Amino acid sequence: MASSTERAPTRQVFVGDVVLLKDPEKSDDLIIRRLAALEGYEMVSNDEKDEPFVLEKDQCWVLADNQALKPKEARDSRLFGPVPMTDILGRVIYSLRTAVDHGPVENSPVAMNQDAPILAVELDVEEMAKNNKM
């Protein structure tokens, strides 16, 4: 039995995971982006004018998966900078776009291993598709 002073385990996210986070520009909104770097990572730009920097404690860098988008269109860390880890609400494990276009999200190998039992036992795709208004 856990004592009252013990803390619940923290939610773990790993580089390569798709995460749900608070939108840094619109505090009431949520966005989904891929976690690209964590504290301690050195960030180097392709633009020689930008100075390299290291992500500080409890910071992360998120990127949109659509690489065809320009940074302003993608609305990711290239536009708004590092994100506090406290703004990450969790890892996305399944995507339901339409009743026929859905499936597990490709996350980091560690996360995929952790999420496999959840997807196998707890996910009711038919119920999600039925309730999804498209």
CA angle 124–18–100, rounded 5-degree value: 40
Cα 73 to Cα 81: distance, rounded to the nearest angstrom: 14
pLDDT value at 131 more than 80: no
Comparing 72-81, 85-94, 123-132, which segment has the lowest mean pLDDT?
123-132
- The pLDDT, as a whole number, for residue 34 is 97
Q: What is the pLDDT of residues 21-33, one digit of tens each?
A: 999 999 899 999 9
Report the greatest alpha carbon distance in the chain.
55
Q: Which of 12, 15, 32 is nearest to 23 (CA)?
A: 32
Q: Flag whether pLDDT at 123 surpasses 80.
A: no
The torsion defined by the Cα of 102, 108, 110 and 113, in degrees rounded to 10, comes to 20
Instruction: Answer whether residue 1 is part of any domain.
Output: no
Is residue 64 assigned to a domain? Answer: yes
* Domain containing residue 115: CATH number: 2.10.109
Share of the chain above pLDDT 70, in %: 83
> What is the number of domains present in the chain?
1
Q: pLDDT at position 11, please?
A: 58
Let me know if residue 114 belongs to a domain. yes
Tokens of 128: 């999600």
Query: 12 lies in a domain?
Result: no
106 in a structural domain:
yes
The answer to whether 113 and 24 have CB atoms below 8 angstroms apart is no
